[in-house]
Amino acid sequence: MTNAEFVREIAQPLTGDADDYDSLLQLIGDARFVLLGEASHGTHEFYFERAAITKRLVVEKGFSILAIEADWPDSARVHRYVRGAGTADSNANEALSGFRRFPTWMWRNAIVVEFVEWLREFNKSVDPKRAPVGFYGMDLYSLHASIEAVLRYLDKVDPDSARRARLRYSCFDHFSRNPQEYGYAATAGAIESCEDAVVEQLVELQQKATEFLSRDGEVAAEEFFFAEQNARLVKDAEQYYRSMFRGRASSWNLRDRHMVETLENLVAHLNGSRQPKAIVWAHNSHLGDARATEMSHYGEVNVGQLVRERFGSEAVLIGFSTHYGTVTAASDWGAPAERKNVRPALRGSYEDLFHETGLPRFWIDLRGAGQIAVLQQRRIERAIGVIYRPESERLSHYFHARLPEQFDAIIHIDETRAVEPLERTSIWDEGELPETYPFKV
C-alpha cells in the first residue's frame, strides 16, 4: 500500500453536507479552547469552513468567545455590533470598517461580512440563560488606536486621570503614527524608551478599578475591561516595537504571548457560573504547536504551544492545508491585494501527500491516526501569509514539521480560491494569471 493509500484509508471525506463535521465535534468533545488555523491569510475555503465549524460550536457547544488575529480596537467595534449595544453601525460592512490597516482583506472580506451578520442574529435570539457571543482581537499592532481608546474612556469617567494619561502617552508624540520609528530610536539609544510611562498608566488604571466599577454595573465592567485591555496592549506594543530590532524570536514571542494573555484575560473577565469557552482564528503558524516545527529550533513559541502547555486536553488545535488554486495576497508589505495562482505543492510535502489521495476535501483525526509512520515522518509544509512569492516558494513558504504533533486534526481542501475582498481593485480583478504560469507550456 502506498503512502497516499494509507492516508486515504484514515481520511474522513467532506461532502458539503450539514453533518460533515459531526465526527470533528465529537473529537472536540468538552474542550474549552478550539484553535482554527489557516494555511494562508487569503483563501476563501479556510474562512468559510472556519465559520461553519464556529457556528456549530456556538450553537451546539455553547462557545461564547471568538478571538481573532486582529487588533483589539478594530475588533471591539465589531463586538459592539454583534452584541447590538453601543454601536451606530447599521450593518456588518460598516462595523468592519475599522480594519483599514494592511492587509485589509484579512477581515474585510465577503465571508467575514456574512459571518458577522450571523453572529448578530444569533445574539438577538440567544437564550437569556446563556452568554451571547463576543468578537475580540488578540493582536498588538494598534499602539496609537489603543492609546486613543484609553483616553476616550478616561475623559468620560475621570478627567484628571485622562490628563495624567495624556502626559504619559505624549512620550510617543515625537514620532509619526508609524511605531517602528519609535522602536528603532529607542533601541538605538537615540531617545529614552516610553516603557516606564506605559507601565505607570496601566498600573494607575488597575488601581482605580474599584472606583470606576462602582458606577454602572455590567456596562461599567465591560467598558473598564476594554480600557484596561487597551492599556495593557499599549504596554506590550511598546515592548514589541523595541524588540523588532533585536531579532525575530524576541518580537514573535512577545506577540504570541500577548495573544495568549489576551485570551486568558477574556476568559477570566467573562467567567461566571460556567467557564466560558473560546474559539481562536489565526494562521497555522500561530496555532500549530511550535515544538513540532522549525520554530522551536530558533527559540520561538506560539499560541498553540502556550495554550497546550496551560490547558492540556482542554485545547484542540485544528489546521488547514491546500494543494493549489488561487489566493489573495500582496507581493510586498503594504502593496495592493492581488489574486495570485498558488503553485501545486512541492513534492515530499504534506500537501502533496494529501493531493495524491485523490480526495478533493477531507479531514484527519491526528490524535487517532497520528502514529502512522507516513504522517509522523518529518515533512515540509506550506505557509502563505499576507505576502506570496511563488518565484521563491521553497525558501519563502515552506518549513519542516511533524503534523501529528503540530495539530490534533487537519482539514485538507485540495483546490481552493482567493477570498473576495470588500474593496476589489482592478489589480485583484485582473490579476489572475494563466494556469500555465510561470511556465510557457
Q: What is the pLDDT of residues 328-338, one digit of tens each?
A: 999 999 999 99
Q: For the chain, what is the domain count?
A: 2
Residue at a domain's end among 233, 250, 276:
276
The answer to whether residue 336 sits within a structural domain is yes
Q: Which amino acid is residue 35, in one-letter code?
A: L
The answer to whether residue 131 sits within a structural domain is no
> Which candidate, 229, 212, 275, places its Cα nearest to that of 65?
275
More confident residue, 155 or 211: 155
The answer to whether residue 98 sits within a structural domain is no
Residue at a domain's end among 213, 241, 276:
276
Judge if 268 and 297 occupy the same domain: no
Judge if 305 and 401 occupy the same domain: yes
16: CATH: 3.40.1660.10
Residue span of the structural domain in which 288 resides: 1-63+278-441
Q: Does the pLDDT at position 154 exceed 80?
A: yes
Q: 319 φ, ψ to 5°?
A: -105, 170
DSSP 301: -
Is residue 426 within 8 Å of residue 335, measured between CB atoms?
no
Tell me the average pLDDT across 112-118.
98
DSSP 288: S
The answer to whether residue 370 sits within a structural domain is yes
Judge if 300 and 264 occupy the same domain: no
Q: How far apart are CA 347 and CA 191, in angstroms?
A: 50
The answer to whether residue 223 sits within a structural domain is yes
Tell me the average pLDDT across 31-60.
98
Q: Does the pLDDT at position 440 exceed 50?
A: no
Encode pLDDT of 63-73 as tens digits.
999 999 999 99
DSSP 327: E
Q: How far apart are CA 172 and CA 149, in angstroms?
A: 15
- Cell 485544528, residue? 318
Q: Does the pLDDT at position 441 exceed 50?
A: no
Q: Which amino acid is residue 340, in one-letter code?
A: K
Cα 86 from chain centroid (whole Å): 25
- % of the chain beyond a pLDDT of 70: 95
The answer to whether residue 83 sits within a structural domain is no
pLDDT band for position 373 (cuts 50, 70, 90): confident
Element housing 234 (H / E): helix 217-243
Judge if 398 and 284 occupy the same domain: yes
Judge if 269 and 323 occupy the same domain: no
Give DSSP secondary structure letters for 346-401. PTTBHHHHHHTT--SEEEEEHHHHTTSHHHHS-EEEE---SB--GGGHHHHHEEEE
Encode pLDDT of 406-426 as tens digits.
999 999 999 999 999 999 888
Judge if 211 and 301 occupy the same domain: no
Q: Does the pLDDT at position 167 exceed 80?
A: yes
Is residue 150 within 8 Å of residue 140, measured between CB atoms?
no
Q: How far apart are CA 355 and CA 238, in angstroms?
A: 44
Element housing 415 (H / E): strand 409-416
Residue at a domain's end among 236, 254, 276:
276
The answer to whether residue 181 sits within a structural domain is yes
Encode pLDDT of 254-307 as tens digits.
999 999 999 999 999 998 767 899 999 999 999 999 999 999 999 999 999 999
Judge if 204 and 246 occupy the same domain: yes
Residue 34 β-bridge partners: 279, 316
Average pLDDT of the chain is 92
Q: How far apart are CA 183 and CA 74, in angstroms?
A: 23
Encode pLDDT of 18-30 as tens digits.
899 999 999 999 9
Cα 368 from chain centroid (whole Å): 27
**Can you give the pLDDT at residue 244?**
84
Q: What share of residues in the chain are helix, strand, coil (percent, to 5)?
A: 50, 15, 30
Is residue 413 within 8 Å of residue 351, measured between CB atoms?
no
Q: How far apart are CA 381 and CA 343, in angstroms?
A: 13
Q: Does the pLDDT at position 439 exceed 50?
A: no
- Cell 489576551, residue? 262
Judge if 272 and 289 occupy the same domain: no
pLDDT band for position 217 (cuts 50, 70, 90): low
Judge if 325 and 402 occupy the same domain: yes
Judge if 334 and 361 occupy the same domain: yes
Length of the chain, in residues? 441
The answer to whether residue 435 sits within a structural domain is yes
- Cell 493509500, residue? 5
Judge if 356 and 430 occupy the same domain: yes
Judge if 382 and 305 occupy the same domain: yes
